[in-house]
Copies of this chain bind each other. A is one copy, B any other.
Amino acid sequence: MIALPDVQAAARVIAPHVVRTPLLPFGSGWLKPESLQPIGAFKLRGALNALARVEDPSRGVVAYSSGNHAQAVAYAARLHGVPSAIVMPSNTPEVKVEATRALGAEVFIVGITERVQRAQELVAERGAVLIPPFDHPDVIAGQGTIGLEVLADLPSVETVVVPMSGGGLISGVATAIKSIKPDVRVVGAEPELAGDIAASVRAGELVRWDPVDRARTVADALRDEPSELTWAHISAYVDDVVTVTEEEILGAVAALARQARLVVEPSGAVAVAAQAKLGGGGVAVVSGGNIDPALLVRLLAG
């Protein structure tokens, strides 16, 4: 498991390249808008830290992702002048493929079930380094820098609400916060339709859900499941889990556009929906802003 010094070291490494997002007042609480990072999501923090800690990155980095992690790794690689290869499933929206290519990545489109294997082949063929989306200490430490910033900006914070899927974000944030201020409550937020971590917490052990079930939620960046590593952090540090309905998620997206002037994707609004369910207050991490404009139009017109 990672510890506070890992997160503190990550903060020093990534500071020149990430946006120091402010806390924005929202109702009786606050938002931490990671949607304002250059690629539109917190994922940049973990990717930058992981890449910076690769011993010899000259042969490039590899990632498999259809989402924000793809662009995070491509962006980080370009920044460090190393080649990146991103494996994307064939059902990835063309706009995300193009955005990843525009960041200088070489994109490999494969069948949905072949992602991991193709990525491993690229690693073997090229001597490149794999940067996983969440199951890696350096990635977790990078995401944890959000926790340090929240405590620095709002030392009196009582509750921090963080979305969960693979669990990399909450593992890092909870480690940072609990190490510095154990009394701050760290709450995980999940879509009800992908509530496997909530089920695991209730069961007291890691419960696996079928990927087809987890894929039902509109929060398409929250369809992963935790690894042993992230589950260990979650078990150790997370105080509570709140699940939210699809309607609550989409309502939060609309509220964020209207009241906080932020463009947020459904996954990015899950912690805000949970914050409302908890009665407001505290800090909600707005994890990403890459929404399909057509969906935003539908929510604002409705």
Contacts and interface: CB of A to CB of B under 8 A. Distances in A.
Copies in the complex: 2
A293 interface: yes
Nearest to A256: B263
B301 A261 contact: no
A23 B36 CA distance: 10
A212 interface: no
Given A25-B38, A36-B24, A300-B293, A261 B263 contact: yes
Nearest to A301: B297
Interface in A256-302: 257-258, 260-264, 289-290, 293-294, 296-297, 300-301
Contacts of A24: 19, 36, 38
A78 interface: no
A71 interface: no
Contacts of A293: 257-258, 300-301
Contacts of A35: 261
A200 interface: no
Interface of A: 19-25, 33, 35-36, 38, 40, 257-258, 260-264, 289-290, 293-294, 296-297, 300-301
15 contacts: A19-B23, A19-B24, A20-B22, A22-B22, A25-B38, A36-B262, A257-B263, A258-B263, A261-B262, A261-B264, A261-B289, A261-B290, A262-B262, A262-B263, A293-B300
Given A19-B24, A24-B36, 4 more contacts: A20-B22, A40-B261, A262-B263, A297-B297
